[in-house]
Amino acid sequence: MLLDRLAQDGMLGGGEAKSRLRRLSDGLALHVQPKPDLLLLLDAPGEVMFARKGEHSPEVLEQWRNAYLELAAGLPSAHIIDASESAARVRRKASELLWKVVAGGPAAAPAAPEPIPLHMWMLLDWRFLLPAERTRKLGYGGRINSEAMAAIRLLDPGARSIEPGPGRTAASDLDAVLLSRPGPDLVKAAASSLRPNGWICIQAERSLRPYSGPLTLAGWKRTLEKLGFEDVAVYWHVPRFEGPERLVPTASVAAVRDTLAHYSGARFGKAKAAVAGLALTLGLFDIAAPCGTVIGRWPETAPGKDAV
């Protein structure tokens, strides 16, 4: 079981001001909850946390940090990780500690390539946007980094790289293709590689460079529709392009408004929410959204050659 909160959180600060009922409930929770096999404390200075989240103040966050460090010092299973390092290094350290607990000891030096970190499965969240029951044969192209490429090969070890250009022909047998910030020619090449009812996923950011292809998610949506794709949909990446916490369907007004409300407490959140809310009301949210994924299904009967 994985938890992001423990009953021990009730031991942090403010104990004197607690009511008798609150102290009783905290004590009961500590008694009932099993002792964690592994407790990870991601530690960063208050200034760093405030710069990342924009919540509370550096002073308040530093007080909470010290309280958590004091709490962790009394828990044998606690491990402190320096969260001021890069996200990749933090995930790797956390994965190594988790592996030691699961395997019952340090991992033996592998003769084969070292295991892929658990966090790389998060790079495959795009597959949950596809209604297809299974995606066995995959392709990829564009600015796919090495970690994302390795993650794709978790699903299909024989995943195929898609490249544009004359004379590059390949079988039209792929179930899905993932493209990251592609050019128009690459999208056409990807369409040609899909089987009937195969899916394309384009991860794109709003751009100011007209030569790079469509400038907005709305532009990518129109591009897929012109090529003959059906069931085209747009998903907004929140709060960032890489490693988003949410993939929000922009066709759902309720989902977008809920997301705007959720993040309105962040730095400049209210101002951003007001601008985004206006764009949503005017039907321009696909133009305003800074980044996201656009998906489309290649039809059962492929369009004419002129379209592709």
Average pLDDT over residues 93-102: 81
**Which residue ranges does the chain devote to CATH 3.40.50.300?**
7-103
**CA atoms of 50 and 59, how far apart (whole Å):** 9
CATH 3.40.50.150 fits 118-250+289-297, yes or no: yes
**89: which 2 tokens?**
């290094």
Most confident among 79-83, 284-288, 295-299 (mean pLDDT): 295-299
Average pLDDT over residues 216-231: 96
Lowest mean pLDDT among 6-20, 171-185, 242-256: 6-20
pLDDT band at 15 (very low <50, low <70, confident <90, very high): very low
Most confident among 34-48, 160-174, 218-232, 249-263 (mean pLDDT): 218-232
pLDDT attached to residue 301: 82
Between 173 and 268, the higher pLDDT residue: 173
Average pLDDT over residues 242-269: 83
Second-level CATH architecture of 7-103:
3-Layer(aba) Sandwich (3.40)
Give the CA radius of gyration of the chain.
24
Between 87 and 166, the higher pLDDT residue: 87
Average pLDDT over residues 228-257: 92
pLDDT over 90 at 295, yes or no: yes
Strands 246-249 and 230-238: antiparallel
Q: What is the pTM of this model?
A: 0.61
pLDDT attached to residue 11: 56
pLDDT attached to residue 77: 81
Average pLDDT over residues 69-93: 80
Write down the residue that tokens 């090449």 correspond to.
189
- Residues 6+ away with beta carbon under 8 Å from 8: 30, 71, 75
Average pLDDT over residues 147-172: 84
Strands 174-180 and 230-238: unpaired
pLDDT band at 67 (very low <50, low <70, confident <90, very high): confident
**CA atoms of 160 and 177, how far apart (whole Å):** 9
Between 259 and 227, the higher pLDDT residue: 227
- Chain-centre distance of CA 251, in angstroms? 20
- Residues 6+ away with beta carbon under 8 Å from 135: 127, 155, 156, 175, 176, 199
Cα–Cα–Cα angle for 76, 77, 81, rounded to 5 degrees:
110
**CA atoms of 170 and 156, how far apart (whole Å):** 17
**Which residue ranges does the chain devote to CATH 3.40.50.150?**
118-250+289-297
